[in-house]
Amino acid sequence: MGKKFIKIGLVSISDRATKGEYEDLGLPHLKEWCKQAIIDEIIFIEKLIPDEFELIKSTLIDLADIDQCHLILTTGGTGPSQRDVTPDATEAVADKIMPGFGEQMRQISLNFVPTAILSRQIAVIRNRALIINLPGQPKAIKETLEGLKNKNNETTVPGIFAAVPYCIELIGGPIIKTNDDIVKAFRPKK
């Protein structure tokens, strides 16, 4: 039997970063967080694309259907502005919508900014891939994935990643082990 791995698609969606107007921080931050949080070997497929509805859709379809990613994390394009179409493109490729992920991300962000209610982040399942739209800022990405911790590093509000490994198992993906110091995966008692 070969070595176990998880395949993760990382997609940063930004008009200005694709034009080189500023450095994309989403992809390197997501990749580093995943390497710290997931114990298993990870194969990453990274994409930096502009806020274009059809391009976002085709990128997500390729990552789910052709590359067969188990998890696809997007960052950027989730606000209310006209160019923010990531959730719309994500919903367009969905087999199932997983509303709890977006609800929890907004709940976490509301601890910091009242504008969290403007976020349209969603999560969906396409085939055997879980696709999650994350916030655009590295600090907010970390908070929504890990949750909130007190000064003793104890989780006070669970982050969304605690549910990700079990969700991936339920849709036919691999069993994912996490670094409990970063995020403890939840699985129901058998």
In a domain, 130, yes or no: yes
In a domain, 188, yes or no: no
Q: Per the domain annotation, does 176 fall within a domain?
A: no
Asked whether residue 153 is assigned to any structural domain, the reply reads yes
Residue 2, pLDDT score = 52
Closest CA relative to residue 87, chosen from 124, 58, 114: 124
Tell me which residue of 45, 84, 70 sits closest to 125, measured CA to CA: 70
Number of neighbours of residue 95 by Cβ within 10 angstroms: 12
Considering the domain boundaries, does residue 187 fall inside one?
Answer: no
pLDDT of residue 51: 95
pLDDT at 3: 58
Taking CA atoms, 112 is separated from 139, 148, 171, in Å, by 11, 11, 33
Q: What does the pLDDT read at residue 1?
A: 45
**What pLDDT score was predicted for residue 11?**
98
**Which tokens is 189 given?**
């008692």
For residue 68, the model assigns a pLDDT of 97
Q: Residues of 72-89 as b/e, b for ≥16 C-beta within 10 angstroms?
A: bbbbbbbbeeeebbbbeb
The residue ranges of the chain whose pLDDT is under 50 are: 1
Q: Among candidates 64, 81, 150, 61, which has minimal Cα distance to 111? A: 150
CA dist., res. 6 & res. 41, Å (int): 6
Range of the domain at 110: 5-170
Residue 186 lies in a domain: no
Cα separation of 136 and 146, whole Å?
Answer: 15
* pLDDT at residue number 149: 86
Q: What is the pLDDT of residue 66?
A: 98
CATH number reported for the structural domain that contains residue 120 in this entry: 3.40.980.10
Q: What angle do helix axes 138-146 and 99-109 make, rounded to 10 degrees?
A: 120
Instruction: Centre a 10 Å sphere on the Cβ of residue 153 and count the other Cβ atoms it contains.
Output: 7
Number of domains in the chain: 1
Q: At what angle do helices 26-37 and 138-146 cross, to 10 degrees?
A: 30
**95 part of a folded domain:** yes
Specify if 177 maps to a domain.
no
Q: What is the token pair recorded at 43?
A: 């194969």
Q: Are 80 and 120 in contact (CB under 8 A)?
A: yes
